[in-house]
Chain A
């Protein structure tokens, strides 16, 4: 199938390190034509990737590499295909993480993921619950979205705002961090859109309309 034949489904990567089931439901509910893909051979006839992620950075990266996704995803991202990382799937897009020193991330966004510092009695780790999201610049995922919006987070590591991206959103948990990033064709949310009610659905709809739009007309 060639692009001229019509819109192609987005590939939701099932490499053994993400909550694929709930992501899949949410993407479908947002009207996104989605194919769950568990090996690179199944990528034919798809365009764009959703990278879910849950668990330890080392485990998810190792699972990702073991399923053979690194090379095809880097090549596709370089060719301009849309990428959408969720939670640890966002952290995977960076060079690496304090959680697993020496483990190589995908390096699509230069920078390192850091760990929250617990503050006894005040700041618990993980950062778990609903927190506010405020736009910085014009991220396609948040275009015309009313902010502050509240989204559901569960994580102990974060992308610091010293990481240089074109646009996104910032959330504060002891330190400010990127809760959404957009850099060219690469997008990600630290929160779980699939668990974030109407806000999550609004973000996924924008992924469909604003990012996939060119290849998956509504």
Chain B
């Protein structure tokens, strides 16, 4: 079984934001399709699109993004952001997404996980969790609202509840590490990965290849997700994978039909 490397793209009103910069030529780096194809060429194992649109119109554009990307690439596609109901799941899955991630909406209404899992199967329900270390160091709490609101929920308890309710995969973003590029939070990732029997995607903090290596070994993660290090071209997905492979990790190699 290989370890997965997953680029994540933020979408607002149908366009990728945060100024993805890895193109040296003049291709449209805000076009989700262009980027999806570029990452497919880099041997990305999956893609995540996260919709940060707040308006109804923007939501409809996200459906169009999912449809266009799913049409063009042959790899798993996860969409998240603002998914509140089974109806939202259905729309995105019909548009072509393979998995849907839920975060705040699942904290507000945990039954959403159960309903979606019963309707569409656990394999398409990704529970995404934002967590921060408690000040007393005794563990981590679950946060919502982009890290502003402490729910008081314990990370490990919520992860296990998510599994019980029928999530098929967990995506853990440790906010202490997010954006720091100082590495994934190995301790939290490992604690979650050992607490559940679901695949765990580590997110937040990737800066160097070493960080990927550490979280996929010591952190017990099954996959690692990153945004800016790939978008800015500091690292390429295939570059990271080549180095991980050299260091003995099982990753999906380049392949051609000879």
Interface residues of A (CB under 8 A from B): 19, 21-22, 25-26, 29, 54-56, 118, 120-121, 124-132, 145-146, 149-150, 152, 154-155, 173, 194-202
Given contacts A124-B222, A146-B255, A150-B253, contact A195 B75 (CB under 8 A): yes
Give the nearest-CB partner of A131 in chain B.
B1
Q: Given A54-B121, A146-B255, A154-B123, does the pair A130, B2 have CB atoms closer than 8 Å?
A: yes
Closest Cβ–Cβ distance, residue B59 to chain A (whole Å):
20
7 A-B residue pairs with CB within 8 Å: A22-B70, A54-B123, A127-B1, A146-B257, A149-B255, A150-B253, A198-B255
| Cβ contacts under 8 Å, B257 to chain A | 145-146, 198-199, 201-202
Q: Find out whether the CB atom of B197 lies under 8 angstroms from the CB atom of A131.
A: no
> Contacts of A195 on B, CB cut-off 8 Å?
74-76, 98
Q: Does B256 contact A (CB under 8 A)?
A: yes
Q: How far is the CA of A120 from the CA of B222 in the complex (A)?
A: 13
> Are the CB atoms of A126 and B255 closer together than 8 Å?
no
- Chain B hits for A146, CB < 8 A: 255-258
Please state if B45 and A129 are interface contacts (CB–CB under 8 Å). Answer: yes
**Total A-B residue contacts, Cβ distance less than 8 Å:** 92
Q: Say whether B15 faces chain A, with CB atoms less than 8 Å apart.
A: no
B245 to chain A, nearest CB (A): 12
Question: How far does the Cβ of B89 sit from chain A's closest Cβ, in whole Å?
Answer: 13
Q: Can you name the residue of chain A whose Cβ is closest to the Cβ of B71?
A: A25
Binding site of B, secondary structure by majority: helix, strand, loop or mixed? loop
Q: How many angstroms from the CA of A132 to the CA of B74 in the assembled complex? A: 17
B32 interface residue (CB < 8 Å to A): no
Q: How far is the CB of B244 from chain A (nearest CB, A)?
A: 13
Closest residue on chain A to residue B118 by CB atoms: A56
Is B31 close to A, CB under 8 A?
A: no
- Tell me if A124 and B198 are in contact (CB < 8 A): yes
Known pairs A152-B75, A154-B123; A126 contacts B40 (CB<8 A):
no
Q: Closest residue of chain B to A129, judged by CB?
A: B4
Q: Output the nearest chain B residue to A145 by Cβ-Cβ distance.
A: B257
Name the contact of A129 in the complex, choosing from B70, B71, B223 (C-beta under 8 A): B223
Is the CB–CB distance between B121 and A56 below 8 Å? Answer: yes
Q: Closest CB of chain B to A196's CB: distance in Å? A: 7
Residues from 219 to 258 in B contacting A, C-beta threshold 8 Å: 220, 222-223, 252-253, 255-258
A53 to chain B: closest CB distance in Å?
11
A125→B258 CA distance, assembly (Å): 33
Complex CA distance for A118 and B70, rounded to whole angstroms: 31
Instruction: Write the chain B residue with the least CB distance to A206.
Output: B257
Q: Are the C-beta atoms of A21 and B94 separated by less than 8 Å? A: yes
- Judge whether A196 and B74 touch: CB under 8 Å: yes
Q: Which residues of B contact A128 (CB under 8 A)?
A: 123, 168-169, 199, 222
Interface residues of B in 170-217 (CB under 8 A from A): 193-194, 196-200
Asked if B61 is an interface residue, CB under 8 A from chain A, the answer is: no
Q: Are A194 and B2 in contact, with the CB atoms below 8 A? A: no
Is residue B120 contacting chain A, with contact meaning CB distance below 8 A?
A: yes
With A55-B121, A150-B253, A197-B75 already in contact, 16 other A-B pairs whose C-beta atoms are closer than 8 Å: A26-B74, A29-B74, A56-B121, A124-B200, A124-B222, A126-B123, A126-B168, A128-B168, A132-B2, A146-B255, A152-B75, A154-B123, A195-B76, A198-B74, A200-B74, A201-B74
CB B117 to nearest CB in A, in angstroms, measures: 10
